[in-house]
Amino acid sequence: MVAVGGSIGTGLLLGSGVAMEVAGPAAILSFAAAAFINFTVAMALGELASAHPAAGSFGVYGDLYLNPFAGFIARAGYWIGIALNIGAEMIAAATYMGYWFGGVRPYIWILVFSVLLLLINLRSVGSYGRSEFWLSMVKVVTIVAFIVIGAALLLGRQVSPQYNAQGGFFPHGLLSPLLAMTLSGSTMDPDLKKFITTTRDPSGEKALW
């Protein structure tokens, strides 16, 4: 459950919304491609772990197959990525809370959740594991609930499918799913968003992205 919870970030729904804004319904292709890439990487790591059962994961593999500097870069890059991701998660949490408590400044929520996260990590390993388990369970149950409710609404004809309702399956061009693959964060620069959604080709018929 810790692994499952780690793969489901706080910004999942926020990031999904940005991806759909960029690529429209074609964002499903972005998620499918990203899932395939992650699957191949996981399988490769599994083979390496079987061949070299040692602590250190991909850092060790960089040492063995390339050089010590490559191993160091792999470890340092992973640490930097996790550190930046925690900041993005705090911003995503503040964005969610701002929906219900608009009068509270975002930095207040960032401080609250940062302290809560620190307190959980300062407790014993067993306590941390139990906290992660139940927090991960909340994420999994939420996603399953959304899938079930969405499927029930579509199959029960309570809502109309929106696959081609807003400019077709590729409302911003055939390349838009590739750009949406890069949007793993929970926020997006307003100028970049404006550029993506308004830039046109010379004929003026469709967006470049």
pTM of the model: 0.67
Q: How far is CA 185 from the centre of its chain?
A: 6
* Contact criterion met (CB below 8 Å) for 200 and 206: yes
Q: What is the pLDDT of residue 191?
A: 40
The label of the residue with tokens 């390496």 reads 48
* Alpha-carbon gap, residue 145 to 125, rounded angstroms: 30
Tell me the per-residue pLDDT of 80-112, one tens digit each, with 9 for 90 and over: 988 888 888 888 888 889 888 988 999 999 999
pLDDT, residue 69, reads 92
> Is the Cα torsion angle 17, 22, 23, 28 positive or negative in sign?
negative
194: left (phi over 0), alpha (psi -120 to 50) or beta: alpha
Could you give the CA distance from residue 60 to residue 164 in angstroms, rounded to a whole number? 48
Higher-pLDDT residue of 199 and 17 is 17
Q: How far apart are CA 121 and CA 123, in angstroms?
A: 5
Residues pairing with 200 in the sheet: 207
Residue 76 has what pLDDT? 92
* Token digits of residue 81: 């990525």
Dihedral-angle region of residue 167 (phi above 0 means left; psi in -120 to 50 means alpha; beta otherwise)? left
Instruction: Identify which of 38, 19, 18 has the alpha carbon closest to the alpha carbon of residue 28.
Output: 19
Residue pair 81/87 in contact by the 8 Å Cβ criterion: no
User: Could you read off the pLDDT of 10-59 as tens digits, one per residue?
Assistant: 667 777 777 888 888 888 888 888 889 888 988 988 888 888 887 777 88
Tokens 């067993």, located at residue: 126
